[in-house]
Structure 1
Amino acid sequence: MTSTMDPAAPDTAEVPEYPMPRAQGCPFDPPPELKALQEQGPLVRVRLWDGSTPWLVTRYADQRAVLSNPNVSAVMSRPGYPRQTEGNGTLSFISMDDPEHARLRRMVGAAFTVKKVAAMRPAVQKIVDDAIDEMLAGPNPTDLVEAFALPVPSLVICDLLDVPYSDHDFFQQNSKTLINRNSTPEERAAAIGRLGVYLDGLISKKLVEPGDDLLSNLAGRIQAGELERQEAASMAVLLLIAGHETTANMIALGTLALLENPEQLALVRDSDDPKIVTHAVEELLRYLNITHGGRRRVALEDIEVAGQPVRAGEGLIMPNEIANRDPEAFAEPDHIDVTREARHHVAFGFGVHQCLGQPLARLELDIVYRTLYRRVPELRLATDFEKVPFKHDGFVYGVHELPVSW
């Protein structure tokens, strides 16, 4: 391994601060300054909250190259890793490198195979239909986030893990603390601790009375000596949070984007071609980019990115919101086109750390987008667009609430 520091460090006063704010009135688009950096070059320095100046990788192809490079690390404790916040700690295997990452990921991977997830379609369809029934029987207008977008993926992941949905207020509140940029390190640590204790308690029950669920699988791994209790609880926390937060935000934000593009909504709602909804799922994932802050790595050795030397110990940030708006990868990238084949987007990442739960997310979004707008064809925004509260304060982007009527 070579030197970890560049002796010709940039003048931080001239380096743009990251992350940047979105433009007023353009909540679906990446920050204008971020787009300008993409036009400036494939690799540029940015300044983080702690004064460090990692590299920002701006282009689609280069981000994929970095994310598949074995000479970069996802371990947050390594010197030079570009942390999102102070005390931004490890959350199970997503913050590990192989072989440890692969060892833990394989233990739960079987539950998220395409074949296994496809078998869940009838159960997920029932959850969606029941949620729509309940929403239609309730007040009109209503908040789509609380009435539909959050319950659906929460119920799905609770069924998969065998976590009581009656505890959803508890885990959703702690999840919100973890993904809020304004939470202190102490608040995040306390939220992780509470969730860890809660899930460890459920795993304890599975050690005695196992079932056909993911927590029972983790309990079996503990009994076989393959997992420590703390490792199992940490994995369960990751699956519970990731299993509902991202999909819930994607349901609500995708619905809002379609309501603001009625011709695209009409295609999704009225087309007899089943591929339209499939394409719409991928296009909305590409266009909206709900994971904020960029995927982050640190170079283990001297490498080269887009012809630029990156030294060992230097951080790299890959913001998917501009990779998925790269005109070299997507024609007219700033427009929604639900007929576009956009599955090659990087909304789920790339390489060995590509999102484990993407087959389940795709299934849920497919069923939601295929069902909600047909069953509620008069669905419309019940407030001015400018009054919708967007999650500019979160690591996962979306809306805090979405008032709708029908």
Structure 2
Amino acid sequence: MTIDEAPAYPMARAAGCPFDPPPRLRELQAESPLVKVRVFGRPAWLVTRYADQRALLADARLSSDVTSPGYPSPTGAPPKSDGGVGIGFILMDDPEHARLRRMVTAPFMVKRVEAMRPAVQRIVDDLIDDLLAGPKPVDLMEAFALPVPSLVICRLLGVPYTDHDFFQQNSKQLIRLDVSPEQRATAHGNLAGYLDNLVGAKLADPGDDLLSGLTERIKAGELSRQDAAGMGVLLLLAGHETTANMIALGTLALLEHPEQFAVLRDTTDPAVVKGAVEELLRYLNITHNGRRRAVLADIEFEGQVLRAGDGVIFPNDIGNRDPAAFPDPDRLDLGRDARRHVAFGFGVHQCLGQPLARMELQVVYGTLYRRIPTLRRAAELAEIPFKHDGSVYGVHALPVTW
């Protein structure tokens, strides 16, 4: 097969099936565990099956560094190494990845996150109070799904929530795939400059927050101010965009599956809510354009040789719909044990913030539908604007009423 004959990635979802992976991905998964695809005219390997994704994501011969030869950029733009403020450790390899990641691990540990649960519950209850007191219909994305994680990550990082319009607008530009490199660079520069100024302010007057903790590392010579700002960009972006879209898309999926909506509406059992969160994470996959890696040394795998300099893509949406791992995978079943999903990735780059995301989703899914049991769409499904244009999937708006 020539590169021109290889299927292009990413692939389109089927019309009327906004919660399911693209049909062509399903076909490729059935055909072969490894498939050559075309990404902006360049070849890359697509790893289609759950077990293989976990095995290779844990392989140190694969690099997350965007400057590694063959890295399959999701935007097609060449990587830049200009010494400026980046987006933290997520696109680095060990040992530097591990060194920087350890500096921000503690606030995301389960015990610390659980201590935040009462505060998150108050945020969710207050926003639901506002919904119930306000006009109907309302855009659930704007009035609830986006404010919840934004308020939480601002409190954790020490970012003023009054600046939320600024960082949300720039974040949206940064994760869209249909903007120009110049627009993306401008948005990144805006966020980087903002976080750099904030780090500077906390160097002079530290508080009790994550960014202030990083200033202690700067003073000790363990971290540069640029790296601290880059970590701030990463955590601010990841801390609100993914969870906000998961809240809205999860709500819409539940509204389309009334029997599953009823499970959460009618329960007060934390174990049921926890299980529901894992199944929704498996079923929906907010990060829908695959995790990307570059091969550093030849790897023999599934009868193929992944050569040094090859690009590799792990589409977690189809990994989480692998029938070998999850029987009847296209069925949303909140009673399923879905804890081994790959929605947060796998290996050393597995999502740092997953305990926080899980806790926020548990509070939201365990509260919203009990308090507004008659919640329903205020627009036809075909009228809902889905985010096919970004690296984070979800909806641009979700009109609801009750």
TM-score between the two structures when normalised by the length of structure 1: 0.96
The answer for the alignment partner of 2:214 in structure 1 is: 218
Residue 10 of structure 2: aligned partner: 19
Equivalent residue number for residue 55 of structure 2: 65
Contact 1:54-1:82 within 8 A present in 2 as well: yes
Alignment correspondent of 1:33: 24
The aligned amino acid for 2:226 is Q
The reply to whether residue 103 of structure 1 matches residue 99 of structure 2 is: yes
Aligned positions, number: 396
Query: Is contact 1:86–1:185 with CA below 8 Å preserved after alignment?
Result: no
Contact persistence 2:293–2:311 (CA under 8 A): yes
Secondary structure of residue in 2 paired with 1:189: helix
Between the aligned partners of 1:125 and 1:168, the Cα distance in structure 2 is 20
Cα distance in 1 for partners of 2:270, 2:147 equals 25
Q: Using the alignment, how far apart are the partners of 2:67 and 2:317 within structure 1?
A: 25
Is 1:302 the equivalent of 2:298? yes
User: Could you say which residue in structure 2 is the equivalent of 1:229?
Assistant: 225
Q: Return the alpha-carbon distance in structure 1 between the equivalents of residues 195 and 332 of structure 2.
A: 40
Structure 2 match to 1:354:
350
Distance 2:2 2:304 in 1: 18
The answer to whether structure 1 residue 148 and structure 2 residue 144 are counterparts is yes
* Residue pair 1:299, 1:311 contacting (<8 A) in 2 also: yes
**Separation in structure 1 between the aligned mates of residue 158 and residue 289 of structure 2, nearest angstrom:** 31
Q: CA deviation at 1:88?
A: 6.2
| Superposition deviation, residue 138 in structure 1 | 1.3
Matched residues in 2 for 1:207 and 1:340: separation?
A: 47
Residue deviations 1:240-285 (CA, integer Å, cap 9, x gap): 0000000000000000000000000101111343321111100000
Q: Partners in 1 of 2:35 and 2:136 — Cα distance?
A: 49
Cα pair distance change 1:272/1:91, threshold 3 Å? closer
Matched residue, 2:38: 47
1:113 aligns with 2:109: yes
Superposition deviation, residue 360 in structure 1? 0.1
- Whether 1:185 and 2:181 are equivalent positions in the alignment is yes
Q: CA 1:329 to 1:304, structure 2 compared with 1: closer, same or farther past 3 Å?
A: same
SS at match of 1:398: coil
Q: Greater CA deviation, 271-280 or 189-198?
A: 271-280
Name the SS for the 2:308 alignment partner.
Answer: coil
Worse-superposed segment, 265-274 or 377-386: 265-274
Deviations 1:354-382 (A, max 9, x none): 00000000000000000000011110101
**Residue aligning to 2:201:** 205
Q: 1:331, 1:253 → 2: CA distance? A: 23
Q: For 1:79, which of 69, 94, 97 is the aligned residue?
A: 69
Any idea what the Cα deviations from partners look like across 1:276-306, whole Å, max 9, x if unmatched? Answer: 1111100000000010210011111110222
Is 2:355 aligned against 1:364? no
1:175 is displaced (CA, Å) by: 0.2
Aligned counterpart, 2:339: 343
Q: Contact 2:158 / 2:211 at 8 angstroms: preserved in 1? A: yes
Give the superposition deviation at 1:184: 1.0
| Contact 2:16/2:382 (<8 A) preserved | yes
Structure 2 residue aligned with 1:7:
none
Q: Which residue of 2 aligns with 1:332?
A: 328
8 Å contact from structure 1 (residues 124, 156) kept in 2: yes
Give the gaps of 5 or more residues in structure 2.
80-85
Distance 1:192 1:37 in 2: 35
Is residue 88–residue 185 contact of structure 1 (8 Å, CA) maintained in 2? Answer: no
The Cα of 1:127 is off from its aligned counterpart by 0.6
In structure 1, list runs of 5 or more residues that go unmatched.
1-9
- Paired with 1:47 and 1:290, the residues of 2 have a C-alpha distance of 22
1:147-183 Cα deviation digits (max 9, x unpaired): 1000000000000011111100000000000111111
- Which residue matches 2:284? 288
- Which amino acid in 2 is paired with 1:119? A
Which whole-Å deviations, capped at 9, do the CAs of 1:309-343 have from their partners, x for residues lacking one? 11111111000000000000001000000001101
RMSD over equivalenced CA pairs, Å: 1.0
Q: Using the alignment, how far apart are the partners of 1:119 and 1:305 within structure 2?
A: 43
SS of 1:47's partner is strand
Residue aligned with 2:366, SS: helix
Q: Would you say the 8 A contact 2:140–2:399 is kept in 1? A: yes
Change (3 A) 1:209 1:272: closer
8 A Cα contact 2:268 2:366, kept in partner: no
